[in-house]
């Protein structure tokens, strides 16, 4: 598994294989490529696809929630896109009802909101390709937290490390900055900087550890687990 699709994610079908049982897709949000089971494909019109790309919709902030889709209940997870705007779009042939907590994707939020969302993933088990509280990898975690907060990040840590504004020195870093780890030639890990030299990241599980200018130390020890390479800022002051 390379990544996950949540409710409301939309994509372009590029090709099919095995008599149409598998579809190769490109996710619109981050241009990520992968294959999905055709049984999980829900086709929409070109007109609707274009509207999805133009309107700032709501995004769920509840860890889990229930919505009614064509009068049938669907369990959705935090970070699911709700195709509802001020004009209540999603009315072509479908009926959507949702009473959970959500916010507009088009309004960037500050560090306190980012921390609040990040903490909802605490202790989520590590899952390669995952990006939910039931399993996530390091870059899936940061991508989803920042997506909910109104910032668009690429899917992989190495790509996220090319976004935002570079912070030159560790002492200049602020809570909410993203810290990237690995070697000088290869970024392999990412986490969200907290206050008081703490970092929240997915390593074995989503956890909080100590961080210094050298990198991540297991909380309460001097055991260096990830070597710091780059710090990037995304949150607008």
**d(C-alpha 94, C-alpha 111), whole Å:** 36
The series of mean pLDDT values per 10 residues for the chain, 237 residues long, is: 95 95 97 97 86 82 90 92 60 66 91 98 98 98 98 98 97 98 97 98 97 91 92 89
pLDDT of residue 85: 55
**d(C-alpha 143, C-alpha 155), whole Å:** 6
pLDDT of residue 47: 84
Q: Which helix (H) or strand (E) holds 118?
A: helix 111-119
**174-212 core/surface letters (b: 16 or more CB in 10 A; e: else):** ebbbbbbbbeeeebbbbbbbbeeeebbbbbeebbbbbbe
pLDDT of residue 178: 99
The neighbour count for residue 106, using CB atoms within 10 Å, is 12
Q: Which helix (H) or strand (E) holds 50?
A: helix 46-54
pLDDT of residue 21: 96
188 CB-near residues (< 8 Å, 6+ apart): 157, 158, 181, 182
Angle between helices 111-119 and 138-148 (to 10 degrees): 130
pLDDT of residue 69: 79
pLDDT of residue 60: 95
Q: Which of 128, 109, 202, 148 is nearest to 29 (CA)?
A: 148
pLDDT of residue 90: 46
């Amino acid at each position: 598994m390379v990544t996950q699709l949540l409710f409301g994610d939309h994509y372009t079908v590029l090709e099919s294989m095995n008599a149409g049982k598998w579809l190769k897709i490109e996710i619109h949000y981050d241009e990520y490529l992968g294959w999905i089971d055709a049984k999980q494909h829900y086709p929409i019109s070109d007109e609707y696809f274009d509207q999805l790309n133009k309107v700032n919709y709501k995004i769920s902030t509840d860890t889990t929630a229930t919505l009614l889709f064509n009068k049938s209940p669907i369990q959705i997870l935090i970070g699911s896109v709700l195709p509802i705007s001020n004009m209540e779009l999603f009315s072509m042939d479908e009926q959507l009802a949702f009473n959970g907590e959500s916010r507009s994707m088009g309004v960037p939020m500050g560090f306190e909101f980012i921390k609040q969302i990040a903490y909802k993933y605490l202790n989520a088990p590590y899952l390669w390709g995952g990006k939910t509280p039931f399993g996530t990898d390091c870059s899936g975690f940061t991508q989803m937290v920042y997506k909910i907060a109104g910032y668009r990040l690429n899917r992989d840590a190495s790509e996220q490390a090319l976004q935002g504004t570079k912070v030159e020195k560790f002492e200049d870093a602020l809570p909410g900055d993203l810290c990237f780890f690995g070697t000088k030639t290869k970024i392999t890990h990412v986490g969200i900087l907290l206050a008081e030299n703490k970092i929240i990241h997915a390593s074995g599980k989503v956890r909080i550890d100590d961080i210094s200018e050298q990198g991540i130390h297991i909380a309460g020890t001097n055991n260096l687990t990830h070597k710091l390479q780059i710090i990037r800022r995304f949150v607008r002051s």
